[in-house]
Structure formats: C-alpha cells, structure tokens
Amino acid sequence: MAKEETQGARRKADEESVARFVEKFASQLVEAGMPRMPSRVFAALLASDSGALTSAELGERLRVSPAAVSGAVRYLTQQHMVNREREPGTRRDIFRVHSDQWYEALGNRDSVLKRWEDAIRDGVVSLGEDTPAGQRLTETLAFFEFVQGELTGMMDRWRVHREMLFGPK
C-alpha cells in the first residue's frame, strides 16, 4: 500500500509541475501578445507527452469550458500553431502540436509579411513617395523586405541546424 501511495503522490506532484509550467509559459505568451486561453491551450499541448489532446482532455487539464477550448483551438489553427486531426474510428477531434510548430508558425508569417509589403507599396504610390508619409512608408517597406530576406535565409539555416541536432525528419 505504501508503494501505491508513493506513486500516487509522485503522479500528483508531476501533474502539479506540469500545471505550473503551463501557466508560467502561457503567461509569457500572453505578455508577448497572444490571447490568454490560446496561450494556455498551446502550453498544455506542448507539455503533454503525446503533443496531442482532445477538447475534453484540454478542458479537464485546464479546468475550462468546452467553449473556451473551442475558441482557443480555432485561434491556434488559424495561426498554424496547432493541427486539427480526427481520432481514428471516432468523430472526436484531436489537436496536435508538432515538434516543428515554431518553424511552421514563423514560416506562415512569410505570407503575412508579403501582404503587408503589398499594402505598404500601394500606400507609397497613393500618398506619394516624396511626402513625409510616403517616405515613412518607403522606410517601412524597406524594413519588411529586409526582414523577409533574412527570414528566408534563417529558415534555411534552421533546417540544416535542426537536422544536425535531431537527424532527418
């Protein structure tokens, strides 16, 4: 009986450690601008052994309603931080975070930067390149073009570095 009690206490301590990590990391994501509930769901997925949980499991772990989980995973899937999959043989969805979620999330920013560049380029034409606003937009455009080029090179270097650290995907 003492061994079972010890294992139960260890399991509870592990669950508490995971919960503390989830809340601490989620608060860092919130500070960086991510909404609170998506931050908590993302941190819970990262901290799970499988990297995948159902809505019910997320709700239970985070002690939140199904509606809160639903809104959070909708946000996370739109941001390409989580994938929605169907649990084989059921109608339940599983939400999964992959080992390369940061790469995917950052890589998807590429299209956002491109859209911003296009809008700013149109703004330069509309406002006039020789106006103070047009000059400010021209500098902003140059910045985004620079970041875009650096991001592409950085992502290529990461793929090589990742393979050296963790082997081929």
Q: Name the residue ranges covered by the structural domains of the chain.
A: 2-96, 101-166
Please enumerate, as own/partner, the contacts of 165-168 that have beta carbons within 8 Å and a separation of 24 or more. 166/99
Per-residue pLDDT band at 8 (split at 50, 70, 90): low
What is the mean pLDDT of the segment spanning 17-38? 95
Consecutive H or E run containing 2: helix 2-31
Q: Name the CATH topology of 2-96.
A: Arc Repressor Mutant, subunit A (1.10.10)
pLDDT of residue 135: 96
User: Tens digit of pLDDT for each residue in 138-161?
Assistant: 999 999 999 888 988 898 999 899
What is the mean pLDDT of the segment spanning 114-133? 94
Residues near 43 by beta carbon (within 8 Å), at least 6 away in sequence:
21, 22, 23, 25, 26, 29
